[in-house]
Amino acid sequence: MPLFGWGSSDKKTPKEEIRPIPGRQIYCRICNADRMFSRAWRRVSPMVKCPCCGMEFPKPEEVYKRFQPICPKCEEPLEQPGFDYGICDGCGSKYEITEGCKPGLLPNYKQRQEMNKYGKIWSPYW
């Protein structure tokens, strides 16, 4: 699984800014349990490259026009500046984490395939 710029030394892609935040315990609906999210971060600048299929976004503002931005190619949900994200230690699922709100799952490629199979339209809030 790509690690969203973690320890990336690729100098060619424009710099994406994320700031690590302290890990916390969050309810993961995939694990169906409270899990530790020891890897968590706040996104500072828009994503310039899809972490799933590697497609580059020369004009991130185009992709970010949507309320819930997704990769035009593979539908990877994109992280939005000013929001916090975390990875479940138990299953590796990515969530948007908002203080006082239910965490919103950002389904990875495999999870999106599963949802399509069952005819579910992806929504972070189902």
Give the binding site for Zn ion (CB under 5 A).
28, 30-31, 35, 50, 52-53, 55, 71, 73-74, 76, 88, 90-91, 93
CB of 15 to Zn ion, least distance (A): 19
Strand order in the sheet with 84-87: 18-21, 39-43, 84-87, 94-97, 104-106
CB of 29: closest distance to Zn ion in angstroms? Answer: 8
- Shortest Å distance, C-beta 22 to Zn ion: 18
Nearer to Zn ion, 53 or 115 (CB): 53
Contact 123, 107 (CB under 8 A): no
Cα–Cα distance for residue pair 105/99, rounded to 1 Å: 15
Q: What are phi and psi of 119, to 5 degrees?
A: 70, 20
Report the nearest approach of Zn ion to the CB of residue 123 (Å). Answer: 18
Which is closer to Zn ion, CB of 35 or CB of 41? 35
Quick count: other Cβ atoms within 10 Å of Cβ 113?
10
Shorter beta-carbon distance to Zn ion: residue 41 or 57? 57
